[in-house]
Amino acid sequence: MTRIQRRNRSAILEAALDVFSQNGFRGATLDQIAQSSGLSKPNLLYYFASKEAIHIELLSGLMEIWLAPLHAVDPGGVPQAELMGYMRRKLEMSRQMPRESRLFANEVLQGAPRFLDGIRGDLKTLVDAKAKVIRHWSASGKIADIDPYHLIFSIWALTQHYADFEVQVRSVLGPDRDPFQEAEGFLEELFSRLLKPVDDAAH
Amino acid sequence: MTRIQRRNRSAILEAALDVFSQNGFRGATLDQIAQSSGLSKPNLLYYFASKEAIHIELLSGLMEIWLAPLHAVDPGGVPQAELMGYMRRKLEMSRQMPRESRLFANEVLQGAPRFLDGIRGDLKTLVDAKAKVIRHWSASGKIADIDPYHLIFSIWALTQHYADFEVQVRSVLGPDRDPFQEAEGFLEELFSRLLKPVDDAAH
DNA sequence: GTCTATAGTCTGATAGAC
DNA sequence: GTCTATCAGACTATAGAC
């Protein structure tokens, strides 16, 4: 692949991320992507077979990046620190990559018609593996005895909320507050309390 | 308005809830709504001026129901019980009204272009009022000293996650588990821990 | 009030010159 | 590789008969 091809492909994907993340698959148009990427509409289709091909390429290309923080949870690390670190990295991704968050949110919200394989495959496999690690940490008393799947869901829900519903969060907080900075402290407190094992010796 | 008119209008709105919540505004078509409601396409437009009018009517009509649980938080009640009750009612709404949850999620996710007034108006006003109540509870030591806005966001994020991302949650948990029933216990534990005031006497 | 027919527009994709 | 021109289908909305 030439340098020009690489540059055009990535310009298309960059523009597509903008457009798909804001409008969802059906709401997005090739015209918008063409305009935003600076290429003509037929030229998009020279690089990608169809509108759907662009979308699929985007999703699968971002999947690895998106799952990296969970992948990085180390079974050999300090449980509390590993999980707090995972939460922090996810929040940081919501801050730095809100478009990616909304891209996935749009897709899942609408039933993941173009992505169910990825969810049922890579995602489930990874979550199952990490859930086993977390369950072990709970069983050995290193963290509280809570369901690992719902713990992971709660990290997703709380961190991605600030990206996916950013318009609402900012509207409610008003223009002078920084949602992400405040979320950092709040979620730190929340997950500290959630993960702390019950200290039976205190009773 | 005749009985027939009332029945047709509500049939349209019921069908529109199905279609808009699954596809978003731009992804939805009048054909789908017509088919789902059993009326012809021109007949939809006899009852509503446009596709957008249907959507706006849906959103504003559901706004009151959607905010009722927060409205019901009683400044005179027992703080911990009030907030746990709010969380429980929100989770119950995710279970019973996932389409409504996804309708709002789609709209907010895409920047709330048809709903920003509602968010900046009624929603912000209500949240501001309840935040003041919660802050007072914190200050008097009845619950933990946490930010009331982010507490409310966390209730929204965690309860609505089970409706909005239901496909993903079910795929990860597998077919034999009941997400909502499990969430009940998990969120009960999470918010109990989060709201509990620090007991200084213990140190 | 409800229908068929259709106007007018938008959209994904292709043809073919260069 | 990139463009202009354009097709075929889908879409919102309206006209007009009944």
- The DSSP secondary structure of A71-115, one letter per residue, reads HT--TTS-HHHHHHHHHHHHHHHHHH-HHHHHHHHHHHHTT-TTT
Write out chain B residues lying below 8 Å of A110, CB-based. 22-24, 27, 106
**Whether residue B154 sits in one domain with residue B106:** yes
Measuring alpha carbon to C1', the residue closest to nucleotide C15 is: A42
What are the residue ranges of helices labelled H in B145-178?
148-164, 166-173
Side-chain half-sphere CA neighbours of B10 within 13 A: 6
Best mutation target, A153, A154, A170, A198, to test chain B (most B CBs within 10 A):
A153
A123 closest CB neighbour out of B156, B172, B193? B172
A2: closest CA of chain B, how far (Å): 36
DSSP secondary structure code for residue A197 in this structure: P
A143: closest CA of chain B, how far (Å): 13
Report yes or no: A160 and A101 within 8 Å, Cβ to Cβ.
yes
Nearest to A131 by CA among A146, A119, A149: A149
What are the residue ranges of helices labelled H in chain A?
3-27, 30-37, 41-47, 51-71, 79-96, 98-109, 116-118, 124-139, 148-164, 166-173, 179-195
Q: Which residue has the tokens 């027939």?
A: B4
CB count within 10 Å of CB A48 equals: 19
- The DSSP secondary structure of B87-104, one letter per residue, reads HHHHHHHHHH-HHHHHHH
pLDDT tens per residue, range A44-97: 999 999 999 999 999 999 999 999 999 999 999 999 999 999 999 999 999 999
Distance CA A90, CA A189 (A): 16
Report yes or no: B35 and B90 within 8 Å, Cβ to Cβ.
no
Report yes or no: B54 and B18 within 8 Å, Cβ to Cβ.
no
CB contact B102 to A (< 8 Å): yes
Dihedral (Cα; B111, B115, B119, B120), 10-degree rounding: 90
Q: What is the pLDDT of residue A139?
A: 98
**Whether residue A118 sits in one domain with residue A69:** yes
**Along the 203 residues of chain B, how does pLDDT read in single tens digits?**
889 999 999 999 999 999 999 999 999 999 999 999 999 999 999 999 999 999 999 999 999 999 999 999 999 999 999 999 999 999 999 999 999 999 999 999 999 999 999 898 999 999 999 999 999 999 999 999 999 999 999 999 999 999 999 999 999 999 999 999 999 999 999 999 999 998 655 55
Give the total residue count for chain A.
203
Best mutation target, A134, A168, A189, to test chain B (most B CBs within 10 A):
A168
Domain membership of residue A189 as a residue range: 58-201
CB count within 10 Å of CB B12 equals: 23
| Helix H or strand E encompassing B115 | none
Cβ pair A156:B161 closer than 8 A = yes
**Whether residue B136 sits in one domain with residue B44:** no
**Whether residue A83 sits in one domain with residue A43:** no
**Whether residue B110 sits in one domain with residue B35:** no
**Whether residue A62 sits in one domain with residue A39:** no
**Whether residue B146 sits in one domain with residue B111:** yes
Counting the structural domains of chain B, the total is: 2
* Residue B42: CATH number of its domain: 1.10.10.60
At B146 the three-state DSSP class reads: coil
B-contacting residues of A 16-45, CB under 8 Å?
22-27
Integer distance in angstroms from CA A43 to C1' C8?
27
B112 closest CB neighbour out of A111, A167, A182? A167
For residue A15, with 0-12 CB atoms within 10 Å meaning exposed, 13-18 middle and 19 or more buried, which class applies? buried
Token couple for B87 = 């969380």
Low-confidence stretches of chain A (pLDDT < 50) are: none
pLDDT tens per residue, range B142-181: 999 999 999 999 999 999 999 999 999 999 999 999 999 9
Q: Model-level pTM?
A: 0.97
Residues in contact with B159: Cβ distance below 8 Å, sequence separation at least 6, in sequence order: B87, B90, B91, B93, B94, B183, B187
Nearest CA in chain A to B170: A120
Rounded to 10 deg, the angle between the A166-173 and B148-164 helix axes is 160
Distance CA B151, CA A86 (A): 21
**Whether residue A156 sits in one domain with residue A85:** yes
**Whether residue A89 sits in one domain with residue A184:** yes
**Whether residue B165 sits in one domain with residue B127:** yes
Nearest to A99 by CA among B137, B112, B111: B111
Give the total residue count for chain B.
203
Measuring from the CA of residue B46 to each C1' atom, give the nucleotide at the shortest distance.
C1
CA distances from A194 to A92, A135, B132, B154, B189 (A): 20, 14, 25, 13, 8
Report yes or no: A107 and A115 within 8 Å, Cβ to Cβ.
yes
**Whether residue B181 sits in one domain with residue B82:** yes
**Whether residue B91 sits in one domain with residue B136:** yes
A3: closest CA of chain B, how far (Å): 34
* Residue B77: CATH number of its domain: 1.10.357.10
Integer distance in angstroms from CA A112 to C1' C12?
21
